[in-house]
Amino acid sequence: MPKRQDPPPPTHVLIDADASMPAVLTEVRRHVDEAIVLVVPDQCPVLLTVAEFRALKDTAERAGVQLTIESNVSLRNQLASMFGIRTTSEAAAAKGGWRPPDTLLGNTRAYDTWVQQPNDDQPRKRKRRSDPGHVDREESHRPKGNGTGSLDYIELDTDSDAAIGATARKIGKILAVVVSIGLFATIAGWYALPNVTVVATPKTTSVTSEVNYAVAAEGANLPSDIAFTVPATAAEADVPYTITVKTTGVKRTPQETAHGEVILRNPTGAEVTVPAGTTLSIHAGASYTTDSDVKVPAAANNVSGEATVSVTATEAGSAGNAEPGILTGVIADLGVYYSNRDAAIEGGTDIEEPIVAEADITSLDDKLVNDYTKAAAAGWNSQLPEGQSVVEPSVVADQPKDKTTAQVGDSAAEISVSGTVHASGLIYDQNEVDQLTTEYFQESLQAQVPEGYAIDPESVVLESPLALASSPDNVQFRVSATATAYAVVSDDLMNDIRGDIAGKSWDAAHARLDQVEQWESYELTISPGWWFKRMPRDDGRIDIQIVDLSQTNPTPAASPGD
């Protein structure tokens, strides 16, 4: 008798992690009339819907392929079972000796056609009884429910196996409906539930520019490197001025008294008592008195006896504070040495009040001589109509003759001198300077911007004008400007990014986002946070947000009057 040959083992076909459904079906068609095990990676985006499994089953049947699915995703295995496609987990369970547990549908009698698979060394024996009304001793003593999942509480018609089978089929239909609803909810959630947010920070670069301009009267001679000229009008007026300096003198009124401890050392052979009120002093400094009587032990074994006593400064104020080791000396009539070597004497405080010092009056006189034109320009600006300003470097004013009335020792935080002087200078329209400066920098800064970048208008910062040269009829200035330019991410690019990462694994999405050259950094989050780390298939649920790098309002165009 010829030896029976076992059928060849099935071919394992590994599906690529990013494979499309058409590619999977093409792979199945290549194995006509063969047995294959389709190995599907966990992160594979296909074979997760009813439609995909229906197409897979139809293709396998047309090609005569005996198909088995190998996957660790429970949803994928459940869908395979629904369409009668074998899974590797079912194949392992079906090997000899397996039988459905009693609790699966309440009673094994519901399985009308099930037959025990015999071992090789045991004779075949039918487990199904020919007499359906017979109940053996073992089954008659079996409890009706044997687990939490048991359905034995359902009353069965024990008069016939047909009734039992009908009941089991009804239960199976109910379970099938429940499972279908659960699968539908899972699949719907897989598509619709998660929302993904990408918060990206664009790359930035700094751009700079500078401009030379002049504020000049009509007919003034100007250098060739001037970008623009603001017309000015020569004027003169009696203008107020005020010059102020802060005082540096301090008047201290003692408030709290300093306290501390000193160590007394007795080198003599007899105990010495230091009475309360004993004076201890710093050479050419503060003095202190002991707060209580203290006995200082005699010296022993060539070591002076020591005791500690608290002391109080004889006068209140910060002058009584002393750093460690400062209060050192000897009580001459007692032969006892003292020192605050271990701790400072502190706690003395003063009430400080600013007063006028001699140096303050001198400083005010010097400032009056050197800064009176600047003070006159400030006073002149204060009485001009809104929008007009005087060019400070153009101001020429009479020397003030006013003096301060402050005296040394007066209680004051500052002293000043004020008056009126006659001045002349150039008056200009500040709004025109603002407009011309802004227009110039809009062009010059934009020319420095790299391709693919745009200036953040809120980031433009103008430095204070620097006077380059001045004459009676014109003053030349230089102003520098800086701005931040950021990489532009167009709507088309963001739409492409959404489409590229929709339905992809978390790692694949990160890999794609890492390729965006316009981003300095990004953060990828999913909501709800407990959902699978996987991108939604609907790219409309992917929100890409670009961080707004706008700073505070731009610095106003610098004015030569500033």
Residue 89 covered by a domain: yes
Residue 3 has pLDDT above 80, yes or no: no
Same domain, 116 and 174: yes
| 199 φ/ψ angles, rounded to the nearest 5 degrees | -105, 110
Question: Residue 301: left if φ>0, alpha if ψ -120 to 50, beta else—which one?
Answer: left
Residues in the chain: 562
490/99: higher pLDDT: 490
Same domain, 76 and 130: no
Residue 461 covered by a domain: no
Q: Which pLDDT belongs to residue 468?
A: 85
Separation of alpha carbons 9 and 12, rounded Å? 9
Same domain, 78 and 116: no
Residue 331 covered by a domain: yes
Same domain, 136 and 56: no
Residue 460 covered by a domain: no
- Among 136, 165, 188, give the residue marking a domain's end: 188
Q: Which pLDDT belongs to residue 536?
A: 87
Same domain, 314 and 333: yes
Same domain, 76 and 113: no
Same domain, 321 and 268: yes
Residue 269 covered by a domain: yes
Residue 365 covered by a domain: no
Q: Which pLDDT belongs to residue 460?
A: 87
| Average pLDDT value for residue range 461-479 | 86
Same domain, 124 and 86: no
27/163: higher pLDDT: 27
Three-class SS state of 166 = helix
Residue 535 has pLDDT above 80, yes or no: yes
Range of the domain at 273: 256-345
Residue 373 covered by a domain: no
Same domain, 122 and 87: no
Same domain, 111 and 165: yes
Residue 131 has pLDDT above 50, yes or no: no
Residue 68 has pLDDT above 50, yes or no: yes
Q: Across the chain, what does the average pLDDT equal?
A: 82
Residue 74 covered by a domain: yes
Lowest mean pLDDT, pick from 32-36, 139-143, 171-175, 290-294:
139-143
| Average pLDDT value for residue range 244-256 | 94
- Among 60, 93, 126, give the residue marking a domain's end: 93
| Average pLDDT value for residue range 219-237 | 88
Same domain, 150 and 199: no
Total tally of structural domains belonging to the chain: 4
């005791």: which residue's tokens?
A: 307
SS in 3 state form for 268-336?
CCCCEEECCCCEEECCCCCEEEECCCEEECCCECCECEEEEEEEEECCCCHHHCECCCCCEEEECCCCE
Same domain, 260 and 340: yes
Lowest mean pLDDT, pick from 38-47, 221-230, 283-292, 508-517:
221-230
| Average pLDDT value for residue range 354-370 | 93
Residue 378 has pLDDT above 80, yes or no: yes
- Among 93, 126, 158, give the residue marking a domain's end: 93
CA torsion angle 135 139 144 150 (round to 10): -110
Q: Which pLDDT belongs to residue 127?
A: 45
Three-class SS state of 515 = coil
| Average pLDDT value for residue range 173-197 | 70
